[in-house]
């Protein structure tokens, strides 16, 4: 969310986001992991970069396993 980006800018510290839910792609709900990092120039945050990885398959598989486990109880 925008708040996460603002926090990285104001704190000057990297952050990790796990399994951020996103609705809006044609394929439906997706989940993403991200590392958001500030880049400094002359002691000030000048840029922000992120590395984002699709976590949808992992989240979907875990949710299915939990549903199956709960059905057995």
- Output the pLDDT for position 64: 93
- What average pLDDT is seen over the chain? 94
Confidence band of 62 (pLDDT split at 50, 70, 90): very high
DSSP per position, 27-67:
TEEEEEEEEEEEEEETTEEEEEEEEEEE-HHHHHHHHHHHH
> pLDDT tens digit string along 5-36?
999 999 999 999 999 999 987 889 999 999 99
């Amino acid at each position: 969310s925008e708040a996460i980006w603002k926090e990285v800018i104001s704190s000057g510290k990297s952050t990790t986001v796990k399994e951020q839910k996103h609705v809006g792609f044609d394929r439906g709900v997706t989940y993403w992991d991200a590392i958001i990092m500030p880049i400094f120039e002359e002691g000030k945050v000048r840029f922000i970069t992120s590395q984002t990885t699709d976590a949808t398959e992992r989240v979907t598989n875990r949710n299915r396993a939990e549903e199956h486990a709960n059905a057995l109880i």
